[in-house]
Amino acid sequence: MIGLVSHILAISAIYMILAASLNLIVGYTGLPALSHAAFYCIGAYTSALLSVRFGISPWAGLLAGALLASICGLIIGLPSIRIGGDFLALTTFSFGIVIYTIVRSWDSITRGPMGIPGIPQLRLFNLSIDSPPKFLLLAVIAVLLTMEVLRRITSSQFGRVLRAIRDDEIAVESIGKNVNRYKLTVFLVGSFFAGISGGLYAHYIGYIDPSSFTPMESILILLMVIFGGMGSLMGSILGATILTAFPEALRFLGMPDSIAAPVRQIIYGLLMVVLIIRRSQGLMGRFKFE
């Protein structure tokens, strides 16, 4: 029982990092990005491949995956300079489809649908992090560090400019702020932490395949942000916890996966409809994304 609860909380912690880093882009800056699963995938596959094929330390692989994800985030952030709204959402979502297609089709590197098994576990001070309780402790530390970095960003003058861009981009440009630089920076930071979460996931589970990084995963992460509240880091924590732990609760009812999956989607939809009607900014949100 302790192992199961620790596993659920560990996965929730990974999604907390994903949701909080996406909130920086969507909730604080107002950019409708739908590519977070792609950065998550890049971090996971880079770290896994470096560890499995080249014997590089999992910690070094995790950092390399995060850096590559941030570079890709910088590249995909470039369209945000010229386009916005629905067009930016479509562009970033398309990027997610491209990354998913690559990892699914490039059999010689990623093994395609077969995935990458045997990913080594993380080690800390010669102690193998080989159980859910041990990984949960590491994941909690990672969440705390992520939240502290994002808190410092959002509570600083930089964060105030981000909120100003979200509310009135033209007004920010009129006072001489380089809006493009701010947009690129949030994409870089957000994708970096998404890459970190991907590496953590890969080394925790020990096996990855494309099914964990479908474009719809970006929608799920966005739902966590919306549910918890855009423009609220604590809202991201709450949204990720509820929407990650809730599906596991259905398993205690004895439902088979063929029934539990549709029921979960129905309940997700009902929750979102009720939330939009009663509290459109989310449970702890400060910003309505219109």
Query: What are the domain boundaries of the chain?
Result: 2-214
Per-residue pLDDT averaged across 104-133, rounded?
87
pLDDT over 90 (residue 196): yes
What is the distance between the alpha carbons of residues 243 and 232, in angstroms, rounded to a whole number? Answer: 16
pLDDT over 80 (residue 216): yes
* Cα 137 to Cα 11, 13, 134, distances in angstroms: 12, 10, 5
What pLDDT score was predicted for residue 170?
86
Q: Give residue-wise pLDDT tens across range 79-101.
A: 877 777 778 888 899 999 999 99
pLDDT at position 168 over 70: yes
Exposure class string for 49-74: b at 16+ Cβ within 10 A, else e: bbbbeeebebeebbbbbbbbbbebbe
Predicted model pTM: 0.91
**Cα(116)–Cα(95) distance, rounded to whole angstroms?**
22
Comparing 47-56, 77-86, 143-152, 170-179, which segment has the lowest mean pLDDT? 77-86
pLDDT (mean) for 107-136: 87
**Residues 66 and 196 sit within 8 Å (Cβ to Cβ):** yes
On the question of pLDDT at 180 being above 80, the answer is yes
Alpha carbons 163 and 169: distance in angstroms, whole number: 9
Least confident of 77-86, 114-123, 167-176: 77-86
**pLDDT tens digits, one per residue of 8-64:** 899 999 999 999 999 999 989 888 889 999 999 999 999 999 999 898 999 999 999
Distance CA 281, CA 187 (A): 22
Q: What is the mean pLDDT of the chain?
A: 86
Place of tokens 């990974």: 14
What mean pLDDT do residues 159-183 have?
88
Q: Could you tell me the pLDDT band of residue 249, with boundaries at 50, 70 and 90?
A: low
pLDDT per residue as tens digits for the range 253-281: 666 666 666 777 777 777 777 777 776 66
